[in-house]
Amino acid sequence: MIYCANCGAKNQANATFCANCRAKLVKPAQSSQPTQQVQPVKPAKTGKRRAHLKQVRKWKKQILIAAAVLLVLLAGYGYGKAHYAKDKQIVQPLQEYYKANPDLASSEDAEDLLQDIWDDNDSEDWVNGSSNTGYLSIKKLHDNWDDSESVANYNEVVGVLSTGPAGSGKTYVNYTVTHNLSYTGDKDDTSVTDTYQNGIISQDSDGDYVLEKLGTPNAK
């Protein structure tokens, strides 16, 4: 289509005169070559630039990892400092007390003494000997088993739970005693554990450990 420059009417593309006003139509000049749209050219990334960007990304990743590790270390340090500070407040005074009171019985000393007592119950291992109520209690228990026709044999195993200062060079001891009994006939063997709390160990005139108090039993 072509438009008339005189009246603006629309005419066929091959018309010479306007069909409305009969004015001569002026056809627009046509270019022999089609117009091409010029696209902006993006600068290509050189090999050196790509390597630089890759290195930057690598550095960022390493920095993030290092920061995470540092946070974990700081958190662990804070916990350890608080935890061991409390532990030191408890353990150090006890260590100093034991150092100042070398007569206190260790866990090993306490276990040796108690195992001997429950095995043989020798009066020499007790404060006040055979008149000690703890000595009499164990003797009565063993006598009952020895006199029983149904008990074939028995043994007892001691395990020390803890020891601590009781004052005047004496030692508190908490421990367990497991009584293992075998019977005559077809009766199955039994095993009973008692926990004794606040037993007291002291020393005799020769410096040997002796049991002053058996402790309070709590059967399991």
Exposed (0-12), middle (13-18) or buried (19+): which is 32, by Cβ within 10 Å? exposed
For residues 90-106, give the mean pLDDT.
Answer: 69
Name the pLDDT band for 213 (thresholds 50, 70, 90): very high
Q: Where are the beta strands (DSSP E) in the chain?
A: 2-3, 10-11, 151-167, 170-183, 190-203, 209-213, 216-219
For residues 183-207, give the mean pLDDT.
Answer: 95
The residue extents of the domains of the chain are 107-219
d(CA 58, CA 49) in angstroms, rounded, equals 14
- What dihedral angle (degrees, nearest 10) is formed by the CA atoms of 2, 5, 8, 12? -20
**In 3-state terms, what secondary structure has residue 109?**
helix
For residues 13-28, give the mean pLDDT.
Answer: 83
Q: Residue 169's closest CA among 134, 135, 210, 130?
A: 210
Name the pLDDT band for 2 (thresholds 50, 70, 90): confident
**pLDDT, tens digit (0-9, with 9 covering 90-100), for 116-156:** 999 999 999 999 999 999 999 999 999 999 999 999 999 99
**Token pair of 97 as six digits:** 């007390």
For residues 193-211, give the mean pLDDT.
Answer: 96
Tell me if the domain spanning 107-219 has CATH number 3.10.450.50. Answer: yes
Q: CA-based angle 157:119:149, to the nearest 5?
A: 95
Helix segments in 6-106, DSSP class H: 47-100
**Token pair of 192 as six digits:** 């009973």
Comparison of pLDDT for 180 and 94, the residue scoring more: 180
In the chain, how long is the greatest CA-to-CA distance?
151
Q: Say if strands 209-213 and 216-219 run parallel, antiparallel, or are unpaired.
A: unpaired
How many CA atoms does the CB half-sphere of 56 hold within 13 Å?
Answer: 6
Most confident of 32-36, 37-41, 94-98, 166-170: 166-170
d(CA 45, CA 52) in angstroms, rounded, equals 11
pLDDT value for 4? 85
